[in-house]
């Protein structure tokens, strides 16, 4: 008889997924970039209370991001800069999560195979 | 035994200087091969058919002007080639017919394919409650092993529904108890289809065209025999030869070549030489007729392939109308009849006198068993009694009848057949000038269209030097297949590919690995943010990041705080990442199980369409 093939359930339960690091990075980057871009512009559109100097105070908390993202501000140009920063950070984070995940899975499978 | 003369007849083709192609069997596969050879390649073949008419299992018998279709043959195909062929041959004689088929059980009719609501309504409130209870019971405590058909269906539908709609008919068709019938034959067929429809249903909307195929079909005005007679005439008109009453009883072989066939006809034996041979006779008989015989393991394998047979008791009933169905499945265990065809509902021209109705009572049996060997008069008597017992017609309204037997109508897919078929396949592949085609030639549940495709492809192999694999022209895709190609891949291979694809989509995300990866990155992010602020310095360093200490007790925007933040990040990331992966895996697995089960149930509802 031909060898028994694994059932779908077995395959699904025993196989472990590998992540594509680049795709993961891109998706994380895009989500982070877009989130910051939208958040910034949303605050701009909403406006803010008028400050002591007669200027509206827009998104004072989001401004704090400029501590990490030099050059970022809650302005339209800032939203573009923010997009770039957040995309970069998101990409790196996403890429690394996937890459590290794959390494760990490889390592665990390698150990399991050796002990089998 | 009658003394038989033997001589070599000169071949038609040698006279013309073409190559001599000998075709065994005048069923759909053999006749299609002949038609293609002559119309496309101008090669005039000779076809030997052992019966007195063409059409094989898809033949139409004629009794006193009443046409009886052996089995009831719906014409439908996804193959453009086959559709073209049918149209070319039949022209306007092809009717589009609506389908109605029901199950007769407990003196009631149920729609077939099963419609859950209709089924429960028909069974009544009390029975429906019991069925639901049984369904729930078997969902909670299923059979641990699904080795038999009974276990397999029970685990999906519950025991009570199994007993109602699956047991009796399946046992009639296969002649063995459902507790002995291996789950494999249904499981395999349904799995192939359900996996594919499962994956497809994930990405595309249900194919409504498929439903129409199930609801209507094409049919020649006077049954499938009309089609195959027309093909025979077309072949003969162009100079080919279709010889009836010509039983091939020997196959001469020299090494790896077939040299001639021995044909018994009207008490004579002829040896007909040829250059190429295409056979649609049962592959088991072909192997047995080889002279010199093939190696013993091949003979043994041929010996072990099994068939199921059936006979039709044809009755003429003196009633204009009996019931609206094309056919009815008889699940009633009180009678032996398995299915009843109402030929007038297939096409009015099947009946010469419109004030009468003709029925075909199909009895599934084994060649040589009690039913098979029963005298025709006794079978007609049995038919009359049974039709009265189930109340479809009155005994005294039946005014005439006849019996037709169809041997080897179903190749049996038992637990061993694949192994044996493999042995046979390997041997046949060594024969240079021979191809086996058709339903029994390939021991496959081929419908007409796929049997025909194997004939067409054999001709292409022969004339164009192509190397189409006839063993993988698929039998199982008529109703549901979404892969709209003429020649479909081996169901086994497709299933494996689809399984791989599904497995790929649904594979587990390793919770530990994902947790660790996320934890590391989150930890590093907290560390990096803290470090950055520390490096920038200022009168008050990172007052806002400091707020994190509300959650990460002990954290601060200091260098030791950065390390504590790193640790916190790792722990929190690990917990959330692991939980996310775990929940995602569970949800994916449940979703997969759900779509697979749903498509299995859908296909089970129309299981008998595949028999
Ligand atoms: C009950 C039932 C219902 C069916 N319903 C449908 C349907 O609805 N739609 C559909 O498309 N298909 C249906 N089919 C399938 C269809 O009948 C077959 O696919 C088709 O007939 C196969 O054609 P074939 O040429 O491969 O084989 P066959 O029809 O078996 O033809 C083989 C021919 O070879 C001849 N032969 C055998 N041995 C020899 C010999 N030694 N010498 C000379 N001649 C020989 C036989 O007499 C026969 O004529 C049904 C089948 C059954 C049993």
Rounded to an integer, the average pLDDT of B386-398 is 95
Structure confidence at residue B14 (pLDDT): 45
Structure confidence at residue A21 (pLDDT): 93
Residue B401: CB within 6 Å of ligand 1?
no
Residue B462: CB within 6 Å of ligand 1?
no
Atom of ligand 1 nearest to the CA of B406: 53
Of A2-6, B153-157, B273-277, B541-545, which range is least confident? A2-6
Atom of ligand 1 nearest to the CA of B446: 19
Of B256-270, B465-479, B485-499, B547-561, which range is least confident? B485-499
Residue of A nearest to B495 (CA): A8
Report the alpha-carbon distance of residue B372 to residue B375 in Å, rounded.
Answer: 8
The answer to whether residue B6 scores a pLDDT higher than 70 is no
Structure confidence at residue B165 (pLDDT): 87
Give the count of alpha carbons within 13 A of B610, CB side only.
24
Atom of ligand 1 nearest to the CA of B285: 41
The answer to whether residue B168 scores a pLDDT higher than 80 is yes
Q: Do B510 and A108 touch (CB under 8 A)?
A: yes
Evaluate whether residue A13 is within a structural domain: no
Residues listed for chain A: 116
Count up the domains in chain A and report the number: 1
Evaluate whether residue A8 is within a structural domain: no
Evaluate whether residue A87 is within a structural domain: yes
Residue of B nearest to A13 (CA): B508
The answer to whether residue B517 scores a pLDDT higher than 90 is yes
Contact call for residues B365 and B171 (beta carbons, < 8 A) = no
Evaluate whether residue A6 is within a structural domain: no
**By the CB < 8 Å criterion, does B145 face chain A?**
no
Q: Do A2 and B518 touch (CB under 8 A)?
A: no
Structure confidence at residue B186 (pLDDT): 67
Q: Do B418 and A2 touch (CB under 8 A)?
A: yes
The answer to whether residue B454 scores a pLDDT higher than 80 is yes
Evaluate whether residue A93 is within a structural domain: yes
The answer to whether residue B568 scores a pLDDT higher than 90 is yes
DSSP states of B542-607: -TTGGGGGGTSTT--SSHHHHHHHHHHHHHHHHHHHHHHHHHHHHHHHHHHHHHHHHHHHHHHHTG
Pocket test for ligand 1, best of B53, B73, B289, B337 (most atoms within 8 A of CB): B73
Rounded to an integer, the average pLDDT of B256-278 is 96
Q: Which domains does chain B have, with CATH numbers?
A: 5-73+223-304+414-476 (3.50.50.60), 511-597 (no CATH)
Cα(B281) to centroid(ligand 1), Å:
9
Backbone angles phi, psi at A19, to 5 degrees: -105, 145
At B192-210, the pLDDT tens digits run 555 556 555 555 544 444 4
Report the alpha-carbon distance of residue B198 to residue B600 in Å, rounded.
Answer: 9
B156 vs A105, higher pLDDT: A105
Tokens of B472: 């993988």
Residue B24: CB within 6 Å of ligand 1?
yes
Rounded to an integer, the average pLDDT of A39-59 is 82
Contact call for residues B154 and B141 (beta carbons, < 8 A) = no
A67, A93, A105 member nearest B533 (Cβ): A67
DSSP B8: E
Task: Give the closest residue to B479 by CA, choosing from B74, B85, B199.
Answer: B74
State how far residue A31 is from chain B, nearest Cα, in angstroms. Answer: 16
Using CA of residue B40, residue B44, residue B47, residue B53, what is the dihedral sign?
A: positive
Of B22-26, B151-155, B477-481, B581-585, which range is least confident? B477-481
Evaluate whether residue A9 is within a structural domain: no
Strand partners, B220: B94
Residue B57: CB within 6 Å of ligand 1?
yes
Q: Do B503 and A11 touch (CB under 8 A)?
A: yes
Portion of chain B with pLDDT greater than 90, in percent:
64
Tokens of A53: 């100097």
At B104-135, the pLDDT tens digits run 988 888 988 788 788 888 888 899 899 999 99
A1, A12, A99 member nearest B506 (Cβ): A12
Residue of A nearest to B493 (CA): A5
The answer to whether residue B19 scores a pLDDT higher than 90 is no
Q: Do B516 and A98 touch (CB under 8 A)?
A: no
Q: What is the largest CA-CA distance in chain A?
A: 87
**By the CB < 8 Å criterion, does B529 face chain A?**
yes
Evaluate whether residue A15 is within a structural domain: no
Residue B312: CB within 6 Å of ligand 1?
no
The answer to whether residue A89 scores a pLDDT higher than 50 is yes
**Nearest-5° Cα angle at B194, B188 to B200:** 145
Using CA of residue B576, residue B582, residue B586, residue B589, what is the dihedral sign?
A: positive
Cα(B28) to centroid(ligand 1), Å:
7
Residue B520: CB within 6 Å of ligand 1?
no
Instruction: For residue A43, give its domain range.
Output: 20-48+58-111
Rounded to an integer, the average pLDDT of A52-79 is 86
Residue B71: CB within 6 Å of ligand 1?
yes
Give the count of alpha carbons within 13 A of B366, CB side only.
8
For ligand 1, atom 2, the nearest C-alpha belongs to B71
Task: Give the closest residue to B581 by CA, choosing from B514, B519, B518.
Answer: B514
Strand partners, B47: B23, B242
At B279-320, the pLDDT tens digits run 999 999 999 999 999 999 999 999 999 999 999 999 999 999
Task: Give the closest residue to B517 by CA, choosing from A30, A93, A29, A25.
Answer: A93
Strand partners, B328: B102, B340
Cα(B194) to centroid(ligand 1), Å:
27
B185 vs B517, higher pLDDT: B517
Rounded to an integer, the average pLDDT of B142-160 is 88
The answer to whether residue A3 scores a pLDDT higher than 70 is no
Evaluate whether residue A53 is within a structural domain: no
At B309-351, the pLDDT tens digits run 999 999 999 999 999 999 999 998 899 999 999 999 999 999 9
Q: Do A68 and B195 touch (CB under 8 A)?
A: no
Q: Do A12 and B516 touch (CB under 8 A)?
A: no
Structure confidence at residue B609 (pLDDT): 72
Rounded to an integer, the average pLDDT of B367-373 is 96
Candidates B198, B503, B530, partner chain A, best to mutate (most A CBs within 10 A): B503
Backbone angles phi, psi at B280, to 5 degrees: -115, 10
Show the 3-state SS of A20-40. Answer: CHHHHHHHHHHHHHHHHHHHH
Q: Compute the mean pLDDT over every residue in chain A, rounded to the nearest whole number.
A: 87
Report the alpha-carbon distance of residue B462 to residue B278 in Å, rounded.
Answer: 10
DSSP states of B481-495: -----SSPPPHHHHH
Task: Give the closest residue to B61 by CA, choosing from B76, B75, B72.
Answer: B72
A13, A15, A108 member nearest B513 (Cβ): A108
Give the count of alpha carbons within 13 A of B333, CB side only.
10
């Amino acid at each position: 008889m031909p060898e028994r093939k694994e059932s779908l359930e077995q395959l699904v339960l025993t196989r472990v997924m590998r992540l594509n690091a680049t795709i993961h990075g891109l998706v994380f980057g895009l989500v982070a970039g877009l989130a910051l871009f939208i958040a910034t512009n949303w605050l701009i559109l909403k406006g803010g209370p008028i400050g002591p100097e007669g200027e509206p105070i827009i998104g004072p908390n989001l401004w704090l991001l400029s501590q990490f993202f030099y050059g970022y501000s809650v302005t339209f140009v800032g939203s573009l800069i923010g997009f770039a920063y957040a995309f970069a950070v998101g990409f790196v984070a996403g890429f690394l999560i996937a890459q590290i995940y794959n390494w760990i899975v490889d390592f665990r499978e390698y150990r399991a195979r050796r002990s089998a | 035994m009658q003394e038989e003369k033997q001589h070599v007849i000169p071949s038609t083709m040698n006279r013309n200087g073409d190559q001599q192609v000998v075709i065994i069997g005048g069923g759909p596969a053999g006749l299609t091969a002949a038609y293609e050879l002559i119309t496309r390649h101008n090669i005039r073949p000779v076809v030997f058919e052992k019966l007195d008419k063409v059409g094989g299992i898809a033949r139409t018998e004629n009794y006193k002007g009443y046409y009886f279709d052996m089995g009831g043959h719906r014409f439908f195909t996804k193959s453009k080639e086959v559709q073209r062929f049918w149209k070319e041959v039949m022209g306007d004689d092809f009717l589009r017919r609506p389908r109605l088929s029901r199950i007769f059980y407990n003196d009631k009719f149920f729609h077939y394919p099963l419609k859950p609501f209709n089924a429960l309504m028909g069974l009544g409130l009390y029975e429906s409650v019991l069925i639901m209870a049984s369904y729930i019971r078997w969902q909670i405590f299923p059979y641990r092993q699904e080795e038999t058909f009974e276990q397999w269906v029970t685990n999906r539908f519950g025991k009570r529904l199994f007993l109602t709609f699956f047991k009796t008919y399946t046992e009639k068709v296969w002649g063995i108890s459902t507790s002995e019938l291996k789950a494999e034959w249904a499981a395999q067929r349904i799995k192939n289809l359900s996996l594919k429809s499962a994956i497809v249903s994930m990405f595309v909307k249900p194919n409504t065209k498929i439903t129409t195929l199930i609801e209507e079909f094409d049919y020649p005005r006077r049954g499938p025999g009309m089609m195959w007679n027309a093909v025979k005439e077309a072949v003969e008109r162009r100079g080919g030869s279709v010889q009836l009453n010509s039983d091939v009883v020997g196959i001469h072989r020299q090494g790896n070549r077939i040299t001639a066939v021995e044909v018994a006809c009207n008490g004579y034996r002829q040896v007909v030489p040829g250059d190429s041979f295409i056979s649609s006779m049962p592959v088991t008989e072909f192997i047995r007729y080889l002279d010199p015989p093939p190696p013993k393991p091949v003979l043994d394998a041929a010996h072990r392939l099994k068939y199921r047979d059936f006979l039709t008791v044809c009755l003429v009933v003196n009633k204009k109308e009996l019931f609206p169905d094309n056919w009815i499945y008889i699940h009633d265990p009180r009678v032996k009849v398995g299915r009843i065809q109402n030929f007038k509902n297939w096409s009015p021209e099947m009946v010469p006198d419109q004030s009468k109705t003709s029925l075909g009572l199909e009895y599934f049996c084994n060649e040589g068993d009690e039913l098979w060997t029963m005298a025709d008069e006794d079978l007609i008597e049995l038919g009359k009694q049974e039709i009265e017992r189930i109340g479809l017609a009155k005994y005294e309204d039946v005014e005439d009848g006849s019996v037709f037997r169809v041997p080897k109508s179903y190749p049996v897919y038992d637990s061993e057949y694949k192994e044996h078929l493999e042995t046979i396949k390997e041997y046949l592949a060594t024969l240079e000038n021979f191809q086996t085609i058709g339903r029994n030639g390939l021991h496959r549940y081929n419908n007409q269209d796929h049997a025909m495709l194997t004939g067409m492809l054999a001709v292409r192999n022969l004339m164009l030097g192509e190397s189409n694999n006839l063993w993988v022209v698929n039998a199982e895709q008529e109703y549901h297949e979404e892969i709209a190609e003429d020649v479909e891949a081996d169901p086994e291979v497709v299933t494996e590919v689809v399984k791989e694809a599904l497995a790929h989509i649904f594979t587990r995300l390793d919770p530990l690995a994902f947790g660790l990866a996320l934890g590391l990155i989150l930890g590093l992010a907290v560390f990096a943010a803290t470090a950055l602020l520390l490096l920038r310095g200022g009168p008050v360093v990172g007052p806002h990041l400091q707020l994190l200490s509300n959650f990460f007790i002990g954290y601060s925007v200091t260098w030791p705080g950065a390390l504590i933040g790193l640790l916190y990040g790792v722990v929190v990331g690990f917990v959330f990442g692991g939980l996310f992966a775990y929940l995602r895996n569970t949800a994916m697995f449940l979703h997969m199980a759900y779509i697979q089960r749903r498509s299995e149930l859908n296909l089970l509802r129309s299981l008998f369409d595949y028999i």
